[in-house]
Structure 1
Amino acid sequence: MSVTDHDRASAVQHATLVFERELSAPITAVFEAYASATLRARWGAPSDTAVILYDAEDFREGGIDRYRCGSKHDPNIHVTTHYLEIVENQRIVYSETITTAGRRLCAALTTVELAPCERGTRLRSTTQVASFIGAAMIDGHEVGQAASLDNLVQYFESHGVT
């Protein structure tokens, strides 16, 4: 993704993205899939050509994660996550700043809510995104997050967690 001075001077684009999934796993397992950076790295990359590499992880209220993501050949997107609220097995609220080549691409606030359902766990993820480089970043955020959550569903289906 290339960021030009024109992109940075354009107006901030905002969006609220809401995703819902039903997972065939208990809430405790879904919560752990978020709490563990090792597990997040397994299901979080949106495609087989992408990767997530954690440089620092601290999953607790007030904790900060830092990771790189993007193409397996050049993971040049840097993400800093701040955990704002964690209610075990119920809710995770975090903010993210996404940069590349030292330039801020977007900031986001995400709330992940977990609730029991007949299948196992209902997950609702609401992300409020402020893109500093236009609508394409929001589109990428939406596509990437949807794919990651689909991977999480597949992770539990293939691992048979109960």
Structure 2
Amino acid sequence: MTSASHTSFVIERRFAAPPAAVFGAWADIEAKRRWSDCHTDEGQTELTMDFRPGGRESYRAVLEGGVRQSVEKVFFDIVWNERIVFAYDIEVGGKRLSASLVTVEFSAEGEATFMRLTEQLAYFDGHDDLQERIRGTREGLDRLALDLETGGAPH
């Protein structure tokens, strides 16, 4: 028997950079590679991105023990410096674990940026890694903040 369960989470962050810089870190593949890849220490990774409405992003990793992970994303709505809406699914070892709809909103607060990320998840067949997903998303956003502070210089 197959099943699906549903949940969501919201993460809000302030970045000491203007919205154009924060948004740009999501839109530029080299910047995104620096902050979003959570498996760089574990093995090989590959990222491709076509950042436009209807465009796709693919992430592939070979994890410890040779297990393959893939993340396939499609962008639905992009309002430059204000909003990104995308859906993605995660497959590990040939098994689809989840599918998500994500909205990322950016607004100026003086010279800083307030960002709200809302993720709505469907977990499949008993899989549930919500706390790990939240932790991993926060860690990526920590790397994004560091990348913005250092102007993309190696950390």
TM range (shorter): 0.7 to 0.9
| Identical amino acids, percent of aligned pairs | 32
Aligned to 1:39: 31
Output the CA distance in 2 between the equivalents of 1:107 and 1:42.
24
1:85–1:39 distance in 2 versus 1, CA, 3 Å: same
Aligned to 2:46: 53
User: Where does the alignment leave 5 or more consecutive residues of structure 2 unmatched?
Assistant: none
Query: Of 37, 43, 58, which aligns to 1:66?
Result: 58
Equivalence map 1:9-158=2 (5 Å): 9=1, 11-46=3-38, 49=41, 52-54=45-47, 56-69=48-61, 71=63, 74=66, 76-118=68-110, 120-134=112-126, 136-158=128-150
- What is the TM-score normalised by the length of structure 2? 0.85
Output the CA distance in 2 between the equivalents of 1:88 and 1:131.
30
Paired residues of 2:104 and 2:115 also in contact (CA < 8 A): yes
After TM superposition, where is structure 1 displaced by more than 6 Å over at least 4 residues in a row?
none
- What is the TM-score normalised by the length of structure 1? 0.82
CA RMSD of aligned residues (A): 2.4
Count of residue pairs brought into register by the alignment: 152
Deviations 1:61-111 (A, max 9, x none): 000111114647857210110000000000000000111232211000000
User: Where does the alignment leave 5 or more consecutive residues of structure 1 unmatched?
Assistant: 1-8
Deviations 1:23-47 (A, max 9, x none): 1111111111000121111001247
Paired residues of 2:68 and 2:94 also in contact (CA < 8 A): no
Letter in 2 for 1:80: E
SS at match of 1:28: helix
